[in-house]
Amino acid sequence: MTTITYDQPKIGPIPKRKLKFVIGGVVALVSIAALIVNGLLSASNYYITLEEALSQGDRLVGKGLRINAVVDKESVKYDTQNIVLTFDLVDEAGRRVPVVYRDVMPDLFMKSESVIVEGRLNENGVFEADLILVKCPSKYEEAIEPGTQPKSNPMPIDPSLIPSSG
């Protein structure tokens, strides 16, 4: 009878050169995983209405939030020297939450129907916004008063520019 023997590879310590690559690879993978987790956590802010935020009370203090609400246009104050925008969000019951935004006022802010503010509620009940998304009216046309005709096209079309068929 013949016996077949297999050479077993010797398992020993990892050479220093390969060890550096292994450690570098582990550090890179851990860093990438940490970035992914951080990105997912910051992107998963609550999207709630002002009524929902007010009903939760102090439980939302310090947490990242996105709140959709109507702006009280009379409360808007914009400090152009320090670039600070302050205003109140108002719910249907008339309850208010003051907002502070330390950046340039969005272009259509004063024409918006409502806004989405992203940031954190501080212990004083002031919402410190990092981002404001403006929800614009669905149409940019002037309202037509009852009993009046809509305005004609401001740019009349020259009939000679329309290609003839045939």
H/E stretch holding 98 reads strand 96-101
- Looking at residue 29, its pLDDT comes to 92
Give the number of residues written for the chain: 166
Is the pTM higher than 0.85? The answer reads no
**CATH architecture of the domain with range 46-135:** Beta Barrel (2.40)
Q: What pLDDT, on a 0 to 100 scale, did the predictor assign at position 76?
A: 92
* Cα separation, 160 vs 166, whole angstroms: 15
Domain residue limits, the chain: 46-135
The percent of residues above 70 in pLDDT, for the chain, comes to 73
pLDDT band, very low/low/confident/very high, at 86 (cuts 50, 70, 90): very high
Question: Which residue type sits at 2?
Answer: T
134-164 tens-digit pLDDT: 987 665 555 566 666 555 555 556 666 667 6
Please give the pLDDT value at position 85: 93
**Torsion region of 159: left, alpha or beta (phi above 0 gives left; psi -120 to 50 gives alpha):** alpha
